[in-house]
Amino acid sequence: MSAAARKDPAAVETEVREKIHLEILKRTGAYHANDHILLPSGQHTTEYIEKTLVTTEPSFTEGLGAVIAKHFAQWPIDMVLSTGPGALILSHCVARAHPSRPIVVYGTKGLSGGKRRVSLPVEFQRLIRPSVKILLIEDLVSTGSTLSLLINLVEQLGGIVVGVGCLWRRTSVELDNRPVFSLVSRDFPTYDPDKCPFCKRGVPLNEEFVRRRHARKPSSVQEPKEA
């Protein structure tokens, strides 16, 4: 009997499903693998996700949103909450496909005094009444810190976090045993440059993603000054 045949069927199904989702992310140009990549943190790794590209293909986003909605279909949900543009697009697709027809609201994230911060517009705060059931949606979860803040915010307002759905989660992230469903659950090793095995083997370092972040500022336009 081959090793594959001995595997638990549920584990095989998860593996196949994740491969399909990874392939979809690859098609958007967001997912890069089998490379020797410099991360913004200064560490080296083999895989990278360009977050802004994840939701550029509407039909893919709709399909992935529907998979998340199906997972949470057994629970009634009143509201889907997210932060950031990518997560908001995905949360719309999840809400559209969920049988409870939840509403969609979004917070904003930023930094305040060097600390991460999440806030919710007053109009949306009013909608989180006690025992409102909320599904949190995120695109990429790497440390879970934004989600922890969102959970605190919802609970302070009396809402109930039914679960968390995301496109990609680094497996090391735990969210107080809350049900987390990710389309791809994957961790890849990161190395300090002086301990990186690829550097030791002389594999060229791909600095493209970090360079891109620094060199290319977002383009902008401005209203002309009145004459």
Q: Which residues bind Zn ion (CB under 5 A)?
A: 44, 196, 198-199
By beta-carbon proximity to Zn ion, the closer residue of 204 and 224 is: 204
Nearest residue to Zn ion, using CB? 196
User: For residue 202, what are its two tokens?
Assistant: 């002389």
CB of 207 to Zn ion, least distance (A): 11
Which residue type is seen at 115? K
By beta-carbon proximity to Zn ion, the closer residue of 32 and 70 is: 32
Cα angle value 110/178/13 (rounded, 5°):
110
User: For residue 185, what are its two tokens?
Assistant: 């659950």
User: For residue 169, what are its two tokens?
Assistant: 């989660």
Are 120 and 107 within 8 A, CB to CB?
yes
Which secondary structure element, helix H or strand E, spans residue 167, and what is its range?
A: strand 160-169
Which residue type is seen at 26? K
CB of 189 to Zn ion, least distance (A): 11
By beta-carbon proximity to Zn ion, the closer residue of 40 and 224 is: 40
CB of 209 to Zn ion, least distance (A): 14
Q: In what order do the strands lie in the sheet with 37-38?
A: 37-38, 44-45, 190-191
Are 138 and 106 within 8 A, CB to CB?
no
CB of 36 to Zn ion, least distance (A): 6
CB of 193 to Zn ion, least distance (A): 6
CB of 32 to Zn ion, least distance (A): 15
By beta-carbon proximity to Zn ion, the closer residue of 26 and 195 is: 195
By beta-carbon proximity to Zn ion, the closer residue of 20 and 205 is: 205
By beta-carbon proximity to Zn ion, the closer residue of 44 and 169 is: 44
User: For residue 119, what are its two tokens?
Assistant: 């806030």
User: For residue 227, what are its two tokens?
Assistant: 């004459």
How far is Cα 87 from Cα 89, in angstroms, rounded to an integer? 6
User: For residue 37, what are its two tokens?
Assistant: 């990549």
